[in-house]
Structure 1
Amino acid sequence: MPSQTTRVAFMCMQNAGRSQISTAFAERERERRGLEDEVEIVTGGTHPADHVHEIVVEAMDEEGFDLAGRSPQAITTDELESCDYVATMGCSTLELDTSADVDVRDWALADPDGQDIDRVREIRDEIEEQVKMVPGQR
């Protein structure tokens, strides 16, 4: 019997830093655990930037991820409410209808934009640990 797909979203304002890092780690975890058919990953921002922050691209490249070709995307409340789990990065401007049976967690992460590389590495590593605890990824 096929299992139900778990839909997971990572969102922030610009979709150019924290949510992009989260998505990359979640995609890797999904692949490592063989959950490609069970976990759908969505990412976006309420006010997407033009490109992923260069410092984020640099920090993730150190971990073997190429985010240079990714583009920040817009995300809507309807999309988020169709998810099982939504991780906001500490900057959400959306009000989600929690009666939609969505598990919303605010990770309250520092914004990597404008930070030095050492601080961005700390944020990246914190995100990696958070992603490992996301329902559906276990």
Structure 2
Amino acid sequence: MSQNAIIKNEAAGTIDSQEYKDAVQVFYKRHLCRLDPWPAEVIESFDYMERDTTVYLTMNGPSEFHVIGSLKNWSIIDEAHKINVPTFLLNGAYDEAADSSVMPFFKFIPKVKWFTFAESSHMPHWEEREKYMKLVADFLGD
């Protein structure tokens, strides 16, 4: 099981193993980008992060599951009420940014709209591109 491989490799410090990378990909293909194959630009972004892991490792850690970086205990939720410009929150029904993660921002940002894409994970700009572009254009036109 992918989860067991992730836990085992993180405990052993073998996050650079192929087993670990393959297990992380199972999660990514469900909750990050559900398209098959992934768009070339998404692959290129991941390839670049693989070549230079400085920012991702510093801010996050080795994966979405083992957050040890500067974002581990960081939150802006207590400051969200200070956002005084129209804000558009987007997530997908299969997103790693679940509704429970988005809800505090919806609750505290004064001028906010929220839309959840029914057929997307974390990348509705790829997974439901036409709907995404229309919604963003409509929001910017308001």
Work out whether the TM-score is over 0.5: no
Compare the two structures and name the one with the higher helix fraction.
2
Larger radius of gyration: 2
Normalised to the residue count of structure 1, the TM-score between the two structures is 0.35
Q: Which has the higher contact order (CA 8 A, sep 6+)?
A: 1
Larger relative strand fraction: 1
